[in-house]
């Protein structure tokens, strides 16, 4: 691949072809101070073989979480779960790899059916009556749920648990920055929302209470009690939920939540450096027409044949911006497909077994780590798949030591919480074996 400077004759010919008198005329709309003077400082070009060799060398520096890579105990929203081979096989078929929001929707029956199946399974997973065809990720789903709750209740005050994912809090703040919506943070006590503080802040101006359960620290919240308090004041309850936990714990709909959101990354989507992800959004049927994004419906023709259509897509591309339910412009088609195939492959019983393994292995790991000198569990409540460990040693040093032994031991929490500077969070999925957990415990014990 070679870079060659064009000749004056070639330049003149190109300018003539596009109807520009000179280079200065062509770039007249760009202020001179913003233009690059002279040639770009580009490296000497290389041939294709050399370029591919460089790329392979760069790729070799990656350390994938696989049988040959480091053992992964990372979490905080991205998890190393097993995905059946059928997910990759079906999702990489040529007719699916370009899956995107269909603009001639009814001509894309295969894509619409995949989204419809995804919606159906999300409803079954969350205990809700309606779901959309997906959103970008958990954070945007939380923010969209807040906007929807404000529209439904015609209120502007939103109580947000400090134990939800910090990224969701940041996205929410950004989305409501220029809107008359007031997010109010509610602190946590021993890792779960301060119910007394929540009750004190609830009033008839509250649009919604936003919680996450299992929350960012892996702990299980008292959702039913929170829902009772919120509903007494006419507020909605938005629960961000881990879809894997729904295989074992009570579903948001069963606990009294009005809107359930989350991320299907644990359901067939690789960790892939933290994205892209696929958010889900489900709610009670009475709020269906206020739901953001796209909703696929099924109908039957005069001959009884089933067909799929976009039943609702009240977004800013189709109607006036101020009347749109959302500014979400697409759904994560390909990733929603992966999640649907994954859920179908596991089935209800398979998902429950995955949930049980996560719970059992996480509790085993937590007990073993808490038994080490210099380590303890930071919070005392019940958890699902991940837990917070406090250490008397420098967290960075502990994690660096484990990394040297090919173990990604956890996520340091000082990045988000100053008061947890001495803590890191460990996630244990069904992928982790007893030998790997014991190796983690041994590495922590040997850390100096």
The CATH number of residue 379's host domain is 3.90.1150.10
Please tell me the predicted confidence (pLDDT) of residue 59. 87
Q: Same structural domain for residues 55 and 145?
A: no
Please tell me the predicted confidence (pLDDT) of residue 30. 92
* In contact, 159 and 348? CB cutoff 8 Å: no
Q: Same structural domain for residues 190 and 239?
A: yes
In a domain, 48, yes or no: yes
CA distance 88 to 48: 30
How many helices (H) and strands (E) are present in the chain, helices listed first? 13, 17
Please tell me the predicted confidence (pLDDT) of residue 446. 75
Q: How many separate domains does the chain show?
A: 3
Q: Same structural domain for residues 293 and 365?
A: no
Please tell me the predicted confidence (pLDDT) of residue 100. 59
The CATH number of residue 163's host domain is 3.40.640.10
Please tell me the predicted confidence (pLDDT) of residue 177. 87
Please tell me the predicted confidence (pLDDT) of residue 252. 97
* In contact, 338 and 91? CB cutoff 8 Å: yes
Please tell me the predicted confidence (pLDDT) of residue 38. 78
Please tell me the predicted confidence (pLDDT) of residue 323. 66
Q: Same structural domain for residues 193 and 175?
A: yes
**Residue 149's closest CA among 162, 164, 160, 138?**
160
In a domain, 65, yes or no: no
In a domain, 175, yes or no: yes
3-state DSSP of 49-90: HHHHHHHHHHHHCCCCCCCCCCEECCCCCCCCCCCCHHHHHH
Last residue of a domain, one of 326, 343, 360: 343
Q: Same structural domain for residues 211 and 357?
A: no
Secondary structure of residue 295 in the 3-state scheme: strand
Please tell me the predicted confidence (pLDDT) of residue 89. 92
In a domain, 24, yes or no: yes
Q: Same structural domain for residues 337 and 283?
A: yes
| Residue matched to tokens 């006419």 | 234
Task: Please count the residues of the chain.
Answer: 448
Last residue of a domain, one of 343, 366, 394: 343
Please tell me the predicted confidence (pLDDT) of residue 1. 44
Q: Same structural domain for residues 231 and 331?
A: yes
Q: Same structural domain for residues 216 and 259?
A: yes
DSSP letter at 250 equals P
In a domain, 310, yes or no: yes
Q: Same structural domain for residues 382 and 319?
A: no
In a domain, 66, yes or no: no
In a domain, 3, yes or no: no
Q: Same structural domain for residues 244 and 199?
A: yes
- Is the backbone peptide bond immediately before 276 cis, with ω within 30 degrees of 0? yes
In a domain, 136, yes or no: yes
* In contact, 172 and 160? CB cutoff 8 Å: yes
- Determine phi and psi for 375, rounding to 5 degrees: -135, 145
Q: Same structural domain for residues 241 and 387?
A: no
pLDDT mean for each 10 residues of the chain (448 residues)? 71 91 88 84 86 91 77 94 93 74 69 91 96 92 95 96 96 90 95 96 96 97 97 97 96 97 95 88 93 87 86 62 67 90 95 97 97 95 96 95 94 95 97 95 81
Which domain range does residue 31 map to? Answer: 8-60
pTM (two decimals): 0.86
**In degrees, to the nearest 5, what angle opens at C-alpha 326 toward C-alphas 277 and 95?**
45
**Residue 420's closest CA among 442, 387, 384?**
387
Q: Same structural domain for residues 328 and 418?
A: no
Q: Where are the alpha helices (DSSP H) in 371-433?
A: 395-404
Last residue of a domain, one of 343, 368, 388: 343
3-state DSSP of 101-145: CCCCHHHCHHHHHHHHHHHHHHHHHHCCCEECCCECCHHHHHHHH
Please tell me the predicted confidence (pLDDT) of residue 102. 61
């Amino acid at each position: 691949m070679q870079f060659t400077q064009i000749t004056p004759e070639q330049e003149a010919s190109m300018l003539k072809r596009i109807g520009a008198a000179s280079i200065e005329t062509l770039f007249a709309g760009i202020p001179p101070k913003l233009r690059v003077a002279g040639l770009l400082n580009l490296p000497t070009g290389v041939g294709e073989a050399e370029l591919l060799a460089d790329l392979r060398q760069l790729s070799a520096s990656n350390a994938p979480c696989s049988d040959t890579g480091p053992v992964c105990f990372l979490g905080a929203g991205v998890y190393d779960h097993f995905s059946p081979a059928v997910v990759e096989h079906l999702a990489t078929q040529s007719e699916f790899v370009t899956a995107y929001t269909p603009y001639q929707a009814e001509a894309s029956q295969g894509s619409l059916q995949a989204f419809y199946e995804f919606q159906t399974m999300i409803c079954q997973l969350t205990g809700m009556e309606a779901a959309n065809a997906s959103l970008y990720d958990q954070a945007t789903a939380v923010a969209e749920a807040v906007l929807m709750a404000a529209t439904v209740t015609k209120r502007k005050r939103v109580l947000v648990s400090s134990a939800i994912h910090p990224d969701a809090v940041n996205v929410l703040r950004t989305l409501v920055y220029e809107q008359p919506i007031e997010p109010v943070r509610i602190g946590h006590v021993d890792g779960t929302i301060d119910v007394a503080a929540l009750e004190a802040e609830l009033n008839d101006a509250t649009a919604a209470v936003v919680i996450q359960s299992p929350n960012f620290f892996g702990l299980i919240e008292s959702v039913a009690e929170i829902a009772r308090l919120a509903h007494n004041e006419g507020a909605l309850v938005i629960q961000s939920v881990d879809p894997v936990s729904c295989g074992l714990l009570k579903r948001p709909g069963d606990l009294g939540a009005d809107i359930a959101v989350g991320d299907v990354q644990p359901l067939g989507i690789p960790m892939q450096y933290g994205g892209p992800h696929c958010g889900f959004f489900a709610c009670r049927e009475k709020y269906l027409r206020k739901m953001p994004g796209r909703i696929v419906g099924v109908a039957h023709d005069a001959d009884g044949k089933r067909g799929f259509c976009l039943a609702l897509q009240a977004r800013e591309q189709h109607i006036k911006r101020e009347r749109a339910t959302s500014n979400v412009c697409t759904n994560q088609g390909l990733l929603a497909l992966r999640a649907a195939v994954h859920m179908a492959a596991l089935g209800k019983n398979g998902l429950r077994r995955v949930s049980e393994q996560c719970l059992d292995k996480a509790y085993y790991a937590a007990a073993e780590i808490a038994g080490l000198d210099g380590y303890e569990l930071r919070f005392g409540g019940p958890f699902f798949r991940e837990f917070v460990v406090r250490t008397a040693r420098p967290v960075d040093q502990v994690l660096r030591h484990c990394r040297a032994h090919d173990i990604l031991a956890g996520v340091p929490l000082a990045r988000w919480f100053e008061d947890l500077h001495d803590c890191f969070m460990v996630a244990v999925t069904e992928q982790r074996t007893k030998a790997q957990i014991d190796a983690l415990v041994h590495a922590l014990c040997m850390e100096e």
